[in-house]
Amino acid sequence: MEAFREEHDTMGIVRVPAAHQWGAQTQRSLENFPIGHETMPSEIIRAFALLKKAAANANLSCGKLTGDQCEAITAACDEILAGRWQEEFPLKVWQTGSGTQSNMNVNEVIAHLCAARGVNVHPNDHVNASQSSNDTFPTAMHIAAVCCLSEKLLPALDALAAELGRLEGENQDVIKIGRTHLQDAVPLRFSQEISGWRTMAEESGRMIRSAMEHLRYLALGGTAVGTGLNAPAGFGEKTAELLSEYTGHAFYTAPNKFHALTSKDALVFAHGALKALAANLMKIANDVRWLASGPRCGLGEITIPENEPGSSIMPGKVNPTQCEAVTMVAVQVMGNDVAVGMAASQGNFELNVFMPVCAYNFLQSAELLADAMDSFRRRCLSGLRANRGRMEELLQNSLMLVTCLTPLIGYEQAAACAKQAHQEGLTLREAVLRRGVLTPEEYDAAVDPVKMV
């Protein structure tokens, strides 16, 4: 039989499982919000631990905590950051829109860990000193976003761009037919096509890095409504300085706390950059699976790794599954962008109360994109190879080589040659010679794919 202990808050006594470190307000949230399976992201909990550690040390310097209290809170935060107490943060995303219950969950766990060290620390009076959920949760959101983008998403994106750069270098001498509107167009080098993919990755990285600058400004120090009530002078600046030291990422106190508490525009802007990345990844993955379609009845211009069987009924079938995973992630991120934007639009007066869902969707997008890019790079792009024979076959069979004849015979005559070739099943060369508009020598001199790229 599970043992319980009694905890209390301002509303009375609550029975809490004795094996856990949380207190009354965490338990009330568990009981009052049994909604869904989505728990507060671990990145938010980590950000809170960093925040509480910085706040404790800032409070020490302001004379609001004793040395023993600061030391105990710091030690508890370090244990959380080391991953020792992950099971102590069970609250759902679908809770109060200010994230108050998750803030108190962290406060209560830290207070209990301090008590185990023999130091009297109150979750509100000490762990939450100089703070409010209204400024800590938006601060944790920004810390989590910057850390996740810097430490996971951008390295995966940079590695993807580098892999595309390698493929570009390998295929400088390969000429293939281009396509627009899913129809044949003029030739290009395969490396040129890949360079478009590479630049998509690089541009997305530049956009994300630019958007991150707005996430570096923190609401901490604004307390309940932005006035900074109960926070000592310099508290916001000191915590931002310490957070920069702890994380290795630059953070600053927001110059206008009224804006920082109620507006989530920085997250909307940054998630827009994630959506742009998702759109680019959708295009790259779709191009790859189209070019690899077949193996005999599709384009078949490239081959990609065969990682697993593709059908439970068709023996030997292999599908472009890594491409499919990337495109599904892209769709999820695009949906998340709607949720983040809608959540950010719901700031009322001095506070936005859609913050947990905003944080959840942002971090899910960043995590999914990072994982998808890493898997796509390792399990697809690293083994992508040009089918040079097939590319040459389609290139020579294309009627759009006629484009290079336009300066010689005019647009209308060139169009007539292409249409005749298509309708009568001729090669372009045969149609041009049959119409008598060029000699064989003139045609051969003019129609050279190398000169067209």
- In one-letter notation, the amino acid at residue 204 is S
CB 232 within 8 A of CB 64: yes
Q: Which of 324, 319, 292, 290 is nearest to 307 (CA)?
A: 319
Burial 186-195, CB ≥16 within 10 A → b, else e? bbbbbbbbbb
Q: Which amino acid is at 65?
A: L
Catalytic residue among 8, 210, 311, 345: 311
Under 8 Å between Cβ of 251 and 244: yes
Q: Are strands 217-218 and 252-253 parallel, antiparallel or unpaired?
A: parallel
Sequence-separated (6 or more) residues with CB below 8 Å from residue 175: 187, 188, 189, 190, 391, 392, 395, 449, 450, 453
Catalytic pick among 29, 98, 132, 181: 181
Residue 179 tokens read as 């396509």
Whether the ω angle into residue 315 lies within 30 degrees of 0, i.e. cis, is no
CB-based burial label for 308 (10 Å; 0-12, 13-18, 19+): exposed
Tell me, yes or no, if 181 is annotated catalytic.
yes
Helical (H) or strand (E) element with 55:
helix 42-61
Residues annotated catalytic, as ranges: 181, 311
